[in-house]
Amino acid sequence: MSVTTPDIVAAPQRGRSLWDDARDRLLANKAAVASMIVLAAIALLSVFGPILSPHNFDTVYRDYVKVPASLEAYPKADQVQPAFEALVKRARLNLESYERVGDQVVVEVTSRRAIDPRSVRYIDRSDMFKNAALTDLADEDKRGTLTADINYLHFYFGTDANGRDLMTRTFIAGRISLTIGLLATVVAISIGVIYGATSGYLGGRVDQLMMRVVDILYSLPFIFFVIMLVVFFGRNFVLMFIAVGAVEWLDMARIVRGQTLSIKRQEYVQAAEAMGVSDGGIVRRHIIPNTLGPVVVYMTLLVPKVILLESFLSFLGLGIQEPMTSWGVLISEGARNLQGSAWMLIFPSIFLTSTLFALNFIGDGLRDALDPKDR
């Protein structure tokens, strides 16, 4: 070719895609980066927290119902003696002397009848003591020395109204809430994007029909819809995100359809048409990749919405069932016990709100990163 091209510069092999640019702009956004770190921390805690925690999420500590959050271990020093005395009394023994040796309690007990060695079970059954043992039996077994180790437990977030460790429950609730948020969003996005892009691209009567279906689904009350599903299929975790996803894709379909209508008139789509590319190829290669910007942004805003929806359903009793829990359930319990045990509301709320905040900031950051002109 005889043509000269002075505007060519020596170029690296690999090109920078628009996504690369967007990622750089996103990483330059401090609020978004901080939010991503927070979100990652919460996600890691939710996944590994219940495994690492010394408590099971459904273990009931009857002696520790509604104990406040504390960095110190339970039982507290002043709780030990009265608790032990009460236990000894329940075992129908008389307390003669009380002595505390380090983490061990040593008492002398007497009884009118011979002491049954099985009565140590009364002590062991308590959450505060373990390894109770009866030694030095004398006076025809009517006198003896009772020793028991103090069972130290940590409840950093306190316990709930049933005496379950709130920290473990918050973590396990995070698993449920984040999973529902993510899965329902994925369900909503995949249906919505495919449906909206198809409807918008095909246009005409097909578009009319497809969008009227969306309108009809819109007019169904969400709660009614969920109750119907629950009645037919029973309460089920999977059902929940299907229900939520099945409702939330409607918004997505409308957004994507609108995007598609404008992308359809772009010259690169006309160019593909002129080249004989099939409808499927155009939707797949040209339309969907170009709608993904707003879709990604909408997704980060949809996840918190779904988490809140799940909380609402659980609040109504249509969602997660005991002993499994979610942030929404924990918060609704916390709200009922607000007087006197505020920690039951505070800790799950901190997790839920920081997740929502983080997702919203990430969404904002993504919008700016993907559309720098609109800032």
By CB under 8 A, name the binding residues for other proteins.
1-5, 7-8, 11, 13-19, 24-25, 28, 266-268, 270-278, 281, 285-286, 289-290, 292
> H-type helices in 265-287, by residue range?
267-274, 279-282
User: Which tokens hold the place of 187?
Assistant: 């369900």
CA nearest neighbour of 102 among 152, 164, 145: 152
Residue 91 burial by Cβ neighbours in a 10 Å radius (0-12, 13-18, 19+): buried
Q: Cβ of residue 23: shortest distance to other proteins, in angstroms?
A: 12
* Whether the Cβ atoms of residue 120 and residue 107 lie closer than 8 Å to each other: no
Backbone φ, ψ for residue 108 (5° rounding): -100, 135
Q: Cβ of residue 12: shortest distance to other proteins, in angstroms?
A: 8
Question: Where are the strands (E) in the chain, listed by range?
Answer: 73-74, 94-101, 104-110, 129-138, 143-150, 153-154
102 dihedral zone (left: phi>0; alpha: psi -120 to 50; beta):
left
| Separation of alpha carbons 362 and 27, rounded Å | 10
Distances (CA, A) of 268 to 49, 202, 286: 49, 17, 8
Closer residue to other proteins (CB): 203 or 289: 289
| Separation of alpha carbons 371 and 369, rounded Å | 6
Count CB atoms within 10 A of the CB of residue 214: 19
| Cis amide prior to 323 (ω within 30 degrees) | yes
Q: Cβ of residue 270: shortest distance to other proteins, in angstroms?
A: 7
The helix/strand/coil state of 145 is: strand
The helix/strand/coil state of 108 is: strand
User: Which tokens hold the place of 242?
Assistant: 């299907």
